[in-house]
């Protein structure tokens, strides 16, 4: 049995976004139980030069919606990046998951050799579809969801590996 581009990307991204949403639920409950303003955690960063929790969630969302869209050859949806609460971030995740669920294997499979070009401030980055998915999209998803998890764990949210990986 071979692993398809769709299987390696879409279900994995949906799982990690849903796990992130469940972790946010635990953070919200933690804040409520301890009378902590959610904005403290939404804006928290592990180091002064790191992006805050909200940006980690936004980037995780952006990377997978952009990845799926580019592989399938459809327009990448644009989100405003104005989330200021856990509910806002959960809504963004839900919107991203709903977008990912619109893709079929037929739209993603067979894109291993497709040329993907990302425009950037320092120039274009060129990938094949397989390299884009496995060396850019998925590692970025894992990095930003891990960082979001670490921010919450650092702040005392009772979460563990099972929460990160899901059931």
Who's near 68: CB < 8 A, 6+ residues apart?
9, 10, 13, 99, 100, 103, 108
pLDDT bucket at 1, cuts 50 / 70 / 90: low
Whether 60 maps to a domain, the answer reads: yes
How many structural domains compose the chain? 1
Q: What is the pLDDT of residues 117-149, one digit of tens each?
A: 999 899 999 999 999 999 999 999 999 999 999
- Is 150 within the bounds of a domain? yes
Structural domain contains residue 28:
yes
> What's this model's pTM, rounded to 2 decimal places?
0.96
Nearest to 62 by CA among 25, 106, 100, 88: 100
Question: Residue 13 — very low, low, confident or very high, per pLDDT cuts 50/70/90?
Answer: very high
Residue 52 belongs to a domain: yes
Local confidence band at 167 (pLDDT 50, 70, 90 cut-offs): confident
Tens-digit pLDDT profile for residues 32-81: 999 999 999 999 999 999 999 999 999 999 999 999 999 999 999 999 99
Spatial distance between the Cα atoms of 45 and 41, rounded to a whole number of angstroms: 8
Q: 103-113: per-residue pLDDT in tens?
A: 999 999 999 99
Could you tell me if 96 and 83 are in contact, meaning their C-beta atoms sit under 8 angstroms apart? no
Within-domain flag for 1: no
Average pLDDT on 144-159 reads: 97
Token pair belonging to 39: 């904005």
Domain-embedded: residue 54: yes
Give the structural domain span for 17. 7-165
Domain CATH code at residue 79: 1.20.120.450
């Amino acid at each position: 049995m071979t692993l398809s581009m769709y299987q390696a990307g879409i279900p994995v991204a949906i799982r990690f976004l849903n796990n992130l949403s469940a972790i946010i639920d635990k953070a919200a409950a933690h804040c409520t139980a301890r009378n902590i303003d959610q904005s403290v955690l939404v804006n928290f960063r592990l180091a002064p030069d790191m992006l805050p929790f909200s940006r980690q969630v936004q980037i995780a969302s952006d990377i997978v919606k952009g990845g799926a869209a580019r592989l399938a050859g459809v327009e990448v949806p644009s989100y405003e990046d104005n989330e200021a609460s856990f509910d806002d971030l959960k809504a963004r995740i839900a919107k991203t998951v709903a977008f990912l669920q619109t893709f079929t294997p037929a739209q993603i499979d067979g894109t291993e050799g497709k040329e993907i070009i990302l425009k950037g401030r320092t120039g274009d980055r060129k990938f094949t579809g397989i390299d884009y998915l496995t060396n850019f999209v998925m590692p970025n998803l894992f990095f930003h969801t891990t960082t979001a998890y670490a921010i919450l764990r650092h702040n005392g949210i009772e979460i563990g590996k099972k929460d990160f990986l899901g059931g």
